[in-house]
Amino acid sequence: MLELRTGRRLGRVIAVAAPKGGVGKTFIAVNAAWHLAEDAGKSVGLISVAYGGREAPRREATVAEPIARGTVRSINNVAEADLDDVVRRTAEFADFVIVDTPNSLSDIVAGAVAQADDVLVVSNHERTGAKGATSLLGMLQESGFDMKRAHLVVGETTRDLSLGIEDVLLLTGVPTAWLVPFEPSASKFGPAAPVAIRAPQSPAARALRAMANGILAQQQPGPRNLPIALPVADFHRQGVAARR
């Protein structure tokens, strides 16, 4: 957790990362931010990192006033050179800071993870998505990151699943993960429109709301271990129920 020079704790920073594009990373980041604000009344800063990396244009960080509770403030296309400063400034004025990282295993992703209290590693049911998540989890482990603070989120980006959940867990080497069922409207409205607005009673909306509640349950200072993971047995029960 970041701290001010006065020792006061700042807002909680959560990095959302996936080396493979198209697995629903931005979808997860946007919906987590929305539920933390709308359902829990938290102030949330949602930062998207410029895909240009070091070549992205620099700009002065503009976060300089409190973010109202129950709202999300988006800070878009932050350059790598500005990321540390923007995250720190945003954390001074928000309860939560969600960092939507680029689809890569790069220095900018490593920088976002270094500032994070927790990391949501996003995969889908495709082999390439699961392999990308595996690579990222390996990078975190090798760097000494507390793996209790790294959490696998598996989203159903299509009705036709090429891998079962057991296969995804086997490839990634983790015992548990959080499942977000397929939501048909996601492809129509894009990742920036929260599911809870367009389909509030859908299985995906319920799963995302439960994920946000899990984040809230462990927001106090101390060792990070978000309860956003389900045992495989529960995973199957939730997945089967969601598709009925």
Q: What is the mean pLDDT of the chain?
A: 79
Number of domains in the chain: 1
Rounded CA separation 37/35 (Å)? 5
pLDDT digit string (tens) for 8-65? 457 999 999 999 999 999 999 999 999 999 999 999 999 998 865 444 455 544 555 7
pLDDT tens track for 129-167: 999 999 999 988 888 888 888 899 999 888 777 888 889
Range of the domain at 127: 12-242
pLDDT of amino acid 64: 55
Q: Does 174 map to a domain?
A: yes
CA separation for the pair 203, 183 (Å, rounded): 8
- Inside any domain, residue 3: no
Question: Is residue 230 one of the residues assigned to a domain?
Answer: yes
Residue 226 lies in a domain: yes
Evaluate whether residue 62 is within a structural domain.
yes
Write out pLDDT tens, residues 61-109: 455 577 888 999 999 889 888 998 999 889 988 999 999 999 988 888 8
Residue 4 lies in a domain: no
Count other C-beta atoms under 10 Å from residue 148's C-beta: 11
Question: Residues 182-205: pLDDT tens digits?
Answer: 888 776 666 667 888 888 889 999
In a domain, 1, yes or no: no
CATH of the domain at 233: 3.40.50.300
- List beta partners, residue 148: none
Predicted confidence at residue 47, as pLDDT, reads 95
Q: Is the distance from CB of 60 to CB of 73 less than 8 angstroms?
A: no
Question: Which amino acid type is present at position 113?
Answer: V
Q: What is the dihedral of CA 52, 29, 242, 166, to 10 degrees?
A: 60
Q: Cβ contacts of residue 226 below 8 Å, gap of 6+?
A: 118, 149, 151, 214, 215, 217, 218
What is the band of 177 on the pLDDT scale with cuts at 50, 70, 90?
confident
* Region of residue 53 (phi > 0: left; psi between -120 and 50: alpha; otherwise: beta): left
- Establish if 208 belongs to a structural domain: yes
